[in-house]
A and B are shown apart, each in its own frame.
Chain A
């Protein structure tokens, strides 16, 4: 607080009344405590010992002070324990407090000696002076020695019922202390019930401490219902709220936040009673109130007048937080960032308060900038841009970079402003400040993506700055621009060639970009650039040891040599739109973080489970769903646990399209597209054995997975290259003709990689139960025991339903077959590919990791047959964008046989229509998480190629479903 210091230097109090000045006596030459900190001399301990045993009270006190001073600076004074404890029996409260302070510090290291003090404690708990009673019970709780706890119980029981509230509130906390040392004892002694009674105490401070203690104890017993929150107890808490100290209010509000009201009326009435807290001077009270309101608001219908009122009431306290000290401002801004993402309407008119001040610390500036962009809209964009332009000329490099980036984000977010943003960026490029130019180019690339064929006139200006780019991201962006607009840049080949010279010194990002850009250039101007493209392909495939680069090189190469037309379609394909918002927090995480507003989680933007140890805080909090009070107007649950129908469940499985797009943006989009398209477009013969051999055989392949799985084509992602066989191998397979399709077992974990343990396996669905069938082979020389298995989070929440049943030790060269039932209630995280499963297997030797892909058909549930009418309505209801079409080739079944075969895998035919010799089969599938997939299969007699159209609200699954069709029909 710079200003505060200054203001004392120069300002004067004006005397209001005319009372004459009085001389103020000087403070006497009192001894000061600083002498205690003088350095230790030899024999000091002995001196202290003597002083501690002195008869004079003053001398004793001084000696204890010296001891504590030594303790603070880290000297070991535990040798004085008996002497200090001897001073405990005194009627001087100040001395007693000092001795207790010492005891708390050293009792743990001297448990036997600590017992010496017990008698005095017990006696003090009976003292007529409530200060001494409280002091004794407080200190006893802090002595974390098991033996002491037995003696503590009786005094504690008395103190919990003490007539003095000061003693009661101290005793309430002591229960929590005792619970921390010996939880069983607390339960056995019935202290929890006494604590519950204290919630109805007449003194608000006692109530607050009881609530705090119970909340903490309840956290370690998630199911105990200790706090027993119900409308009556909530009412009690709300009453106490008004009388408590500010700190007590925080305990109570935090406790309220864990309650879920029964309906919107109750929710509203709690909100009404909490809102006055918003104007409290203590920001912690305000934030706890905001947390409660944000949570309970979720239950209010949006058309309710009160909902609007509440929204309006939330803005001023949040704005007020920004006038606090920078530390508080920073924490507040991190929270506002969450709130703005959840409910942008609260602060939409408050843009100005987020404008940075020149003397804000840089970390505050960056957070403000982030919020400014989130709040940017058509209404305020002019103002925002003017500010951002100012920021871009400031001194601090990080801030300037972010400001430039922000201008780009505005252009993408608010279309009307794009032109102005681009011209602002061009102005900035003219300054030639190196880092500004580089940032500007990175964002202009995104603007080009968002508004194709609009601002290409600026390319010439960008090209002028080519030489000054030294950061990979800027170079990659520039190369992308050159490649993308190669046909408009006369010397595109020269420009790209100039980058090629130092190809091996570039970062991977730039290399990949350069490869793609040159391929694009070649497809656009094939005649002049043949040499260039060959050069880059050979650089990428032969001279590079980066698997991503090599694989992309190979794919382009084959694509270009096999079918240039397809290559053009793939590489120059139309790009999907980029999302408007970046850096959005994933919705489920956001919901959890909203429940933790005002806590560390909201500052780190991570769930508490990520940084709080042990049992505490592992409960995942969620926003309540809205339920009407009168009639049961059901509203979709936000999460996926409720297992609603497909449309509701879908978003949680495929969390955010934004994420996916974000991923792709960093890489090169056409290349990824190409990977997918190869799978669906080219027939399997195109993926010649040579390609399979190449890739499977390359030793660097395995290492490449971890690096960037997104670039790898789906099927190549399987661990041992055997995945290729899975999808494209026509023969083999042990599927039962009419039962569910079970893919053949493949080797998931080769013995080489797992110290002799080989694991192969497959997945099956038998009688509605998903099973992972594993074959474990011990190829090592020693016996293997203690097997266990765990899955990483995956797209459909697969998790082992029981332990891995390998009961007998596995001797050398022995093989065992195990079947592991799976459930679908595990934690969910979108995987790429969707059906990827990462598995860890442990044995007595080590832990091994591998990944495998399961056929999505094992998630098809038995009750997946839709009513005709429902099918018809749903088919119409799903937008056409979600439809994908695939070809199944070389299938010689007739429609009847196909239908039967599919039914075995829970793909149900609902209707059949024949039009001009073509059979149209309509089918439905339901996934274990409630997603419905609708299909139309066209079978023409005599034609071995089927056409299949899939419609689903979560189109991401279509590819996997198609693979299942193919696998089932061909086996």
Chain B
């Protein structure tokens, strides 16, 4: 049972405060801010306790979203609820920011009133809520498709009329219907997160992918959407019994795509899934995750990056690190925003570097005992190298052990590591007027570690 819900800015300003049960005072808000800012890194921030009151909070959009309770409530419920609440606010207000929350406080109060009653969560579905919500959203930033200044930076091979900027999906769902004349759009994201551990000997020790298909729908009249996945899509461990029969009806072209486990949104109907790999969704307005999947330890392709390090001490008492990094993506793909962190021995003083191309950069961060190497764009099949010379005070044989493991952060746009693709997106009934359907693919590094 939720006792209060409040939203604070990162500076502790009260943006929204709602008391549902009248069992705790408003001073809880300041107490929370005091406690959360006093937390040290090691303390779990998830559940905090002050006298009889328990705080559960998340941070989204730079804001604190907090719920309090006095009972032995479920933190899972509360965290899930807060996540949904942020999603709702995002759906209704367009984006999450201090400004948008401030501008739409009346709407958010109205939402909260419908979503929670006496601390019991009622519903978080936009479909149901749209019957009750009266207040119109106010958008913080006028949206224009002409605001395409960032198009073409990396997407040289794409044409403008085939690309919408990310900002297209950050507008309120409701406003699009009213006076805006209804802009019928559907955005579909296939997002994968990759965790990889590569051992010092180059052996792949662990490789997991977590993926999801997210739909953001701006169509008020869409009753059914059919999402076609790869025909050769299978679920279950390869040697174990496959929970679905192999799709024999499907013709055998295209690479097989396999995941270990799959879960679907409540609203997804799977009657055509077994035979045709089609998800039937009745999308609510707003954003929702229709499918989540996981793949463990059995990537269909090689991991995207390999590192060939050689680390030694030179005669002048410096530490030499020669790193060759190879990108094993297909030549048409590329990784962007690659950032590599190499832990170095404590007492590292200065860094001199030789990098293989001018757009790369590297710096020593003595506070974190690490060297950061940034590569803005890294095409598939390419190999880059860097030579770092470190002056380390008190360099010893044991210092070499302090180097590593190397961790990488990157994005792989237009690429899914499982190979999952969306064949088609059909809407029914046929939408009156022009409708637009957008799909994007992206793989992120979650935790990509290479040991040395």
Could you tell me which A residues sit within 8 Å of B by CB distance? 1, 3, 6-17, 19-28, 30-34, 36-37, 65, 68-69, 72-74, 93-94, 97-98, 101, 105, 108, 131, 138, 141-142, 144, 169-170, 173-174, 176-177, 180, 205, 209, 212-213, 216, 245-247, 250-251, 254, 279-284, 286-288, 316, 320, 323, 325, 327-328, 330-332, 352-353, 355, 357-363, 366, 390, 393, 395, 398, 430-432, 596, 598-601, 603-604, 608, 611-613, 616-617
Question: Contacts of B13 on A, CB cut-off 8 Å?
Answer: 73
State whether A34 touches B123 (Cβ < 8 A): no
Check B280 for interface membership: any CB of A closer than 8 A.
no
B244 CB to nearest chain A CB (Å):
14
Question: How many residues in B have their beta carbons less than 8 Å from beta carbons of A?
Answer: 131
Question: Contacts of A177 on B, CB cut-off 8 Å?
Answer: 118
Sample of 6 more A-B contacts, CB < 8 Å, known A15-B436, A170-B117, A599-B75: A11-B166, A16-B437, A212-B120, A245-B125, A250-B77, A603-B47
Contacts A21-B145, A281-B263, A287-B74 hold; do A395 and B1 have CB atoms under 8 A apart? no
Question: Contacts of B434 on A, CB cut-off 8 Å?
Answer: 19-20, 22
* Majority secondary structure of chain A interface residues (helix, strand, loop or mixed): helix
| Residue-wise interface mask of B (217-237) relative to A, using a CB-CB cutoff of 8 A (1 in contact, 0 not) | 000000000000000000000
Question: Contacts of B175 on A, CB cut-off 8 Å?
Answer: 27
Q: Which of B397-452 contact A (CB under 8 A)?
A: 398, 401-402, 404-405, 407, 411, 413-414, 424-425, 434-440, 442, 444, 446-447, 449, 451
Q: In the complex, what distance in Å separates the CA atom of A41 from the CA atom of B369?
A: 52
Q: In the complex, what distance in Å separates the CA atom of A360 from the CA atom of B110?
A: 36
The segment from B101-109, B351-359, B383-391 that touches chain A is: B101-109
Contacts A9-B166, A209-B120 hold; do A327 and B294 have CB atoms under 8 A apart? no
Q: Which residue of A lies closest to B41 (CB)?
A: A362
Question: Contacts of B318 on A, CB cut-off 8 Å?
Answer: none
Question: Contacts of B451 on A, CB cut-off 8 Å?
Answer: 390
State whether B70 touches A72 (Cβ < 8 A): no
Question: Which of B70, B337, B369, B424 sits near A6, CB closer than 8 Å?
Answer: B337
State whether B442 touches A603 (Cβ < 8 A): no
Question: Which of A1, A247, A330, A360 sits near B447, CB closer than 8 Å?
Answer: A360
Q: In the complex, what distance in Å separates the CA atom of A32 from the CA atom of B135?
A: 13
State whether A328 touches B138 (Cβ < 8 A): no
Question: Which of B21, B80, B113 sits near A180, CB closer than 8 Å?
Answer: B21
Q: In the complex, what distance in Å separates the CA atom of A109 from the CA atom of B402?
A: 63
Q: In the complex, what distance in Å separates the CA atom of A596 from the CA atom of B73?
A: 10
B378 CB to nearest chain A CB (Å):
13
Q: In the complex, what distance in Å separates the CA atom of A33 from the CA atom of B296?
A: 48
Q: Which residue of B lies closest to A356 (CB)?
A: B447
State whether A13 touches B58 (Cβ < 8 A): no
Question: Which of A10, A105, A612 sits near B154, CB closer than 8 Å?
Answer: A10
State whether A599 touches B74 (Cβ < 8 A): yes
Q: Which of B54-73 contact A (CB under 8 A)?
A: 54, 58, 60, 69-73
Check B149 for interface membership: any CB of A closer than 8 A.
no
State whether B17 touches A598 (Cβ < 8 A): no
Contacts A33-B102, A617-B72 hold; do A16 and B425 have CB atoms under 8 A apart? yes
| Residue-wise interface mask of B (61-105) relative to A, using a CB-CB cutoff of 8 A (1 in contact, 0 not) | 000000001111111110111010000000000000001001111
Check B165 for interface membership: any CB of A closer than 8 A.
yes
Query: 3 shortest A-B CB distances, which residue pairs?
Result: A357-B447, A13-B438, A363-B44
State whether B46 touches A603 (Cβ < 8 A): yes
State whether A19 touches B435 (Cβ < 8 A): yes
Check B52 for interface membership: any CB of A closer than 8 A.
yes
State whether B22 touches A205 (Cβ < 8 A): no
B302 CB to nearest chain A CB (Å):
20
Could you tell me which B residues sit within 8 Å of A by CB distance? 1, 13-17, 19-22, 26, 41-47, 49, 52, 54, 58, 60, 69-77, 79-81, 83, 99, 102-106, 109-110, 113, 117-118, 120-125, 131-132, 134-135, 138-140, 142-146, 151, 153-155, 158, 161-170, 175, 179-181, 183, 187, 191, 193, 195, 197, 206, 210, 261, 263-266, 289, 292, 294, 296-297, 336-337, 343, 368-369, 398, 401-402, 404-405, 407, 411, 413-414, 424-425, 434-440, 442, 444, 446-447, 449, 451
State whether A284 touches B439 (Cβ < 8 A): no
Q: Which residue of A lies closest to B170 (CB)?
A: A8
Contacts A330-B46, A395-B368 hold; do A600 and B103 have CB atoms under 8 A apart? no
Contacts A209-B120, A599-B72, A611-B52 hold; do A27 and B143 have CB atoms under 8 A apart? yes
Question: Contacts of B118 on A, CB cut-off 8 Å?
Answer: 141-142, 173-174, 176-177
Question: Contacts of B70 on A, CB cut-off 8 Å?
Answer: 612-613, 616
Question: Contacts of B122 on A, CB cut-off 8 Å?
Answer: 169, 205, 209, 247
State whether A357 touches B446 (Cβ < 8 A): yes
Question: Contacts of A23 on B, CB cut-off 8 Å?
Answer: 144-146
Q: In the complex, what distance in Å separates the CA atom of A23 from the CA atom of B451?
A: 51
Q: In the complex, what distance in Å separates the CA atom of A212 from the CA atom of B120?
A: 8
Contacts A7-B442, A27-B143, A390-B451 hold; do A33 and B138 have CB atoms under 8 A apart? yes
Q: Which residue of B lies closest to A601 (CB)?
A: B72
B214 CB to nearest chain A CB (Å):
11
Question: Which of B42, B58, B104, B424 sits near A327, CB closer than 8 Å?
Answer: B58
Report which residue of A8, A74, A97, A613 has the largest number of chain B beta carbons within 10 angstroms of its beta carbon: A97
State whether A611 touches B447 (Cβ < 8 A): no
State whether B102 touches A34 (Cβ < 8 A): yes
State whether A74 touches B43 (Cβ < 8 A): no
Question: Contacts of A284 on B, CB cut-off 8 Å?
Answer: 74, 76-77, 79-81
Question: Which of B105, B143, B437, B446 sits near A359, CB closer than 8 Å?
Answer: B446
Question: Contacts of A320 on B, CB cut-off 8 Å?
Answer: 261, 263, 294
B425 CB to nearest chain A CB (Å):
6
State whether A33 touches B58 (Cβ < 8 A): no
State whether A37 touches B166 (Cβ < 8 A): no
State whether B17 touches A12 (Cβ < 8 A): no
Question: Contacts of B191 on A, CB cut-off 8 Å?
Answer: 7
A159 CB to nearest chain B CB (Å):
13
Question: Contacts of B181 on A, CB cut-off 8 Å?
Answer: 25
B317 CB to nearest chain A CB (Å):
18
A141 CB to nearest chain B CB (Å):
7
Contacts A25-B181, A173-B120, A359-B446 hold; do A281 and B206 have CB atoms under 8 A apart? no
Question: Contacts of A358 on B, CB cut-off 8 Å?
Answer: 405, 407, 447, 449
Report which residue of B46, B167, B343 has the largest number of chain A beta carbons within 10 angstroms of its beta carbon: B46
Q: In the complex, what distance in Å separates the CA atom of A10 from the CA atom of B180?
A: 27
What are some 17 contacts across the A-B interface (CB < 8 A)?
A6-B337, A13-B438, A14-B163, A14-B438, A16-B424, A68-B106, A72-B14, A72-B15, A73-B14, A142-B20, A279-B263, A283-B80, A323-B193, A325-B79, A327-B46, A363-B42, A599-B75
State whether B46 touches A3 (Cβ < 8 A): no
Question: Contacts of A332 on B, CB cut-off 8 Å?
Answer: 76
A596 CB to nearest chain B CB (Å):
6
State whether B132 touches A94 (Cβ < 8 A): no
State whether A19 touches B413 (Cβ < 8 A): no
A99 CB to nearest chain B CB (Å):
12
Question: Contacts of B79 on A, CB cut-off 8 Å?
Answer: 283-284, 325, 327-328, 331
A164 CB to nearest chain B CB (Å):
11
State whether A12 touches B155 (Cβ < 8 A): yes
Question: Which of A19, A105, A357, A600 sits near B449, CB closer than 8 Å?
Answer: A357
State whether A331 touches B75 (Cβ < 8 A): yes
Q: Which residue of B lies closest to A101 (CB)?
A: B109
Report which residue of B22, B74, B444 has the largest number of chain A beta carbons within 10 angstroms of its beta carbon: B74
Report which residue of A8, A209, A328, A358 has the largest number of chain B beta carbons within 10 angstroms of its beta carbon: A358
Question: Contacts of B73 on A, CB cut-off 8 Å?
Answer: 599-600
Question: Which of B17, B52, B58, B183 sits near A72, CB closer than 8 Å?
Answer: B17
Q: In the complex, what distance in Å separates the CA atom of A281 from the CA atom of B144?
A: 35
Q: In the complex, what distance in Å separates the CA atom of A728 from the CA atom of B452?
A: 68
B7 CB to nearest chain A CB (Å):
10
Question: Contacts of B294 on A, CB cut-off 8 Å?
Answer: 320, 323
State whether B437 touches A74 (Cβ < 8 A): no
B135 CB to nearest chain A CB (Å):
6
Question: Contacts of A98 on B, CB cut-off 8 Å?
Answer: 106
